[in-house]
Structure 1
Amino acid sequence: MGILSSIKSMMSDEGFTPSASTFPEIDTNSIERSLKIRSKAKERGAENKPNAEQEASDAVELEIVERMRFLRNQGTEFYENMLSAYKARINRAESISQEIKTGALSARGDFLSSATNNRAEMAYSLMGVVDALKYLKSFRQEHKINRPYLEETRKSIYTLAIVVVVMLIIEVAINAFFFAETSPQGLLGGAFFALIFALANVAISGFVGWFSRFKNHRSFFLKLLGFSVILIFLCSTVLLNMGIGLYRDALEVTGDADLASAEWFSRIENQEFMLQSIKSVILAIMGVMISLYTVTKTYGSFDPYPGYGAVARRVENALQAYADELYETISDLEEKRDTFIDEFKASCDASGTFLSEAADALSGQATLTNKLNAFYEEVTGKTAMLVQIYRDTNVETRADGKIPKCFQVKLGIKKQTIEKMDTSKLERIADERCNEIKTISDRAINDISQIYEAYISYFPSVEALRSDWKEAELPSWEKTVDGLGVQV
């Protein structure tokens, strides 16, 4: 249960009646009918009761007085209940103040605990960034790299696959066109040969394009390997595409795939490398051009230095994970902060209204007292009126025409007045508690806001991490919190 719910339960006033409420209504006609005053007066008068010499009050008169005394007691009880309710509200101010103080301590502690737990989780993410940055720095030093990672090459990797597919389709189309004229199966057979040759050509070119980057490596052996791959590729791509052209010539002469293969091997054994058909020459040249383009495109789609891209991407991934987690933890703390602040403000407002109403009611106690005194006057006057109605009616109906001695005695309810009590002390207590509650609430809100601000300023931004941020720049969380002066 939140602090606001606790405060509301403490402020509930079952049976509380506002000071504007009225005292019991005195309806003499209703009382007269319910007590049957006139009929009893006539009945007893006809029997000459009470006796003319009787000095004690008549039973009917006593019944009237008792009924009116009961109404007066109801009014007194109402007045006392009203004052008790007002006083109880003021007396409850101490409990409400203590409840808010306890809630403030608990809220500050909970919020600080949440911030501390989130900080511990963020520390792992931050250390991941620190480790990745350290490794990147050592990689640069080891390989003597003074330039940043070429991030644009990473973006071009996504287009590399499209380029390779396009090159493959183009070469298949070209080969299919040139082989269709010589293949016994026509265009379908030409497409079959074209697909086999194009896959070999593009796949080898893509592999060479990626592997040729080793020519930039600091290691002599890897650099030698990179240049060797390039030289081998240049020779092999020319030989491969010339071989494709020779096979087309053989297929054009024989018209059969098996015979063309035998013819192809025969020409190679006899070192007859001259292409016979201009179409075969074009086919070979197009194949070499596509192969070279694929190599250069693949080479340009990765960072020129082998391994640098993987190390740099590790840093980027760590930074992205750190930024996402930092955003989530700050959003979580912000939501909790706003919830705490809204609840404290609502609790403070509700408590202030509660105590102000009680203080106002006490301030208006004079009005309530005046109403009670007026009610007492009304009871006294209407009691005398009802008694007189009984006596007059009784005398009018008496057979002996005498007036009993008891009728000559004044009968009624003794007048009573209530003095206004001094409520200044209770009003002062209410004001003090209102101020105290506001101070507690303001301090709690300020402490929670300070913890939130400390948290969001504690961790470095992604930009700071990129700008040669040092791990030693991260202060102690405990010292940071202690510096806020937050007491929990």
Structure 2
Amino acid sequence: MTSIPATKAAISALKIEQRVERDVKAGIPEVDRRNHTESEESLRSYVVREIIGRVHENRQAELDAELESRNEADIRQLFQELKNTDSLVEKKVSSRMASLVSGLKRSAQEFSALRMDLEIFRHRNGITREALYRESKILHYSVIFFIVIMETLLNAFFLSKGSELGLVGGFFQAFILALVNLGLAAFMAFSLRNVFHQNYARKAVAGMLFLCVLVAAATFVLGVGHYREALEHDPFTASQLAISSLLTEPLAIRDFNSWIMVVVSAIALILLAAKFFVVDDRYPGYTSITRRVKGMQRAWSRAYENAVDGINDVADDLQDELADTEKNIRAQFIQFKASVERSEEIHRHYQEDIVKAQGLLDELIRYYQSYSTRMMNRRAAYFGELLRFELDKLPCLNTTGLEQHKRDLAAFEVLIDELDRVYDEAIATVNTRCDIAQSSLAGLVDRLELDHGLRRA
């Protein structure tokens, strides 16, 4: 910003010494006069135009910037929004409630339809009890994996002797045998479960399938023993020898280790079949539909919990929004007040600049007179006696809007005094409306459960 320069700088800029020498040569007027000389007008013009003019320009730019910043303040609008929290809360909560209610009704219909399917399934199949099954699938598969690995390790020890790759080859052969056992056990459990079906044709087919799988499983287990025994005689023709021995004399296994393999495979087969059978209810299909119903029941409970959480989220968002509005009002008020004070300070500084400029002009006159005295040994008569600023002719700062903003500031101070009360009322409105919404959700859930038969009255 341009400021009042030092006297020496002004003397140098005006070249006063050269002016004095020129005026001396031209003769200084000694009579009283009303008109200014050219040198006097130059000093006045320099101070008014170069000093005060530029200071005025910069001070005015600062005032305009402060005015612009105050015009951007929307304290009244924000305060009014805070007072009109009811409409904002009603709009947001109603919008969210419509979505939540729609989702709950859809979930209730799906849950009711699936429960109806379960009841129809029970009625068609004559079932009056609850389904018996294992909830944890992880534990189920963990036990199966453990049985398969233990069978593989035990059989690998017995098969490694006749394998070209030793223990590694025995392990892979034993693992393949364990997988076959796993498949047979799954078929046995499937066929045995269908034996309990109320449809006699299906029951008969399932019984025959079970006997076939049982015979195949027994044949396979005995074949494992024959194969282990054949490995002792000739590893290269063990498969042919085992099949031939199995077909002619199924129980003619003379090697003790081979019988151990038969027992291990049989036990693993029985355990796997039992595990596959007991993991689900003995009636086929009952476990599947029951799992779906219970899954939908959990989904229905989660839907209600999510709806309550959704209302709480709306309340949190509204409270955060109100808090931001309250902070914004206070921040804008502080900035507005500081801007008004800054504008008054700018205006005061400009008045001080005028006084300083007048002092500078007086210093320049005195220097002119003293330098002229040194040259002529007498005073430069009357020089500068008429040079005084006519204040009404100096440029004034445009303070348009400042007085109005001072009145606004007084109104804002009253508003800030009420801000805490209005904010507390707005928060209370949010909490009350959300509590009402949650109560409505609870009532809606009770009504939906009664209307769709999800619970008894």
Q: TM-score, normalised by structure 2?
A: 0.62
Distance 1:198 1:386 in 2: 115
Distance 2:176 2:134 in 1: 35
Q: Decide which moves more: 447-456 or 201-210.
A: 447-456
Write out aligned runs for 1:87-236 (5 A). 87-94=67-74, 97=77, 131-140=113-122, 142=124, 143-147=127-131, 149-152=133-136, 155-160=139-144, 162-164=146-148, 166-167=150-151, 203-219=183-199, 222=202
Shift of 1:208: 1.8
Aligned position for 1:184: none
Structure 2 residue 389 is the aligned partner of structure 1 residue 410: no
Distance 2:335 2:106 in 1: 53
Aligned position for 2:338: 360
Aligned position for 1:42: 21
Shift of 1:61: 0.8
Shift of 1:144: 1.9
Q: TM-score, normalised by structure 1?
A: 0.59
Q: CA RMSD in A?
A: 6.3
Match of 1:381 among 338, 345, 359: 359
Check conservation: 1:202, 1:294, Cα contact below 8 A: yes
Check conservation: 1:210, 1:299, Cα contact below 8 A: yes
Structure 2 residue 12 is the aligned partner of structure 1 residue 25: no
Deviations 1:117-152 (A, max 9, x none): 788778767765554454345445552223564314
Check conservation: 1:160, 1:297, Cα contact below 8 A: yes
Check conservation: 2:155, 2:174, Cα contact below 8 A: yes
Q: Pick closer, same or farther for the CA change 1:32–1:351 going to 2, 3 Å.
A: farther
Shift of 1:425: 0.8
Structure 1: state its 5+ residue gaps.
1-21, 181-186, 474-488
Distance 1:117 1:25 in 2: 69
Shift of 1:335: 9.5
Shift of 1:222: 4.7
Q: Pick closer, same or farther for the CA change 1:56–1:339 going to 2, 3 Å.
A: same
Structure 2: state its 5+ residue gaps.
453-457
Q: Size of the alignment, in residue pairs?
A: 432
Q: Pick closer, same or farther for the CA change 1:344–1:238 going to 2, 3 Å.
A: closer
Q: Pick closer, same or farther for the CA change 1:194–1:66 going to 2, 3 Å.
A: closer
Write out aligned runs for 1:267-346 (5 A). 282=259, 286=263, 291-315=269-293
Distance 1:205 1:101 in 2: 72
Aligned position for 1:9: none
Check conservation: 1:171, 1:290, Cα contact below 8 A: no
Aligned position for 1:486: none
Task: Give the % identical residues.
Answer: 15
Distance 1:289 1:242 in 2: 13
Structure 2 residue 410 is the aligned partner of structure 1 residue 428: yes
Code of the residue aligned with 2:27 in structure 1: it is N
Deviations 1:174-197 (A, max 9, x none): 6998xx7xxxxxx9xx99999999
Q: Pick closer, same or farther for the CA change 1:304–1:57 going to 2, 3 Å.
A: same
Deviations 1:282-321 (A, max 9, x none): 5797366555444334323333232122223434665788
Structure 2 residue 48 is the aligned partner of structure 1 residue 72: no
Q: Pick closer, same or farther for the CA change 1:231–1:78 going to 2, 3 Å.
A: closer
SS in 1 for 2:3: coil
Code of the residue aligned with 1:360 in structure 2: it is A
Q: Decide which moves more: 75-84 or 335-344.
A: 335-344
Q: Pick closer, same or farther for the CA change 1:25–1:438 going to 2, 3 Å.
A: farther
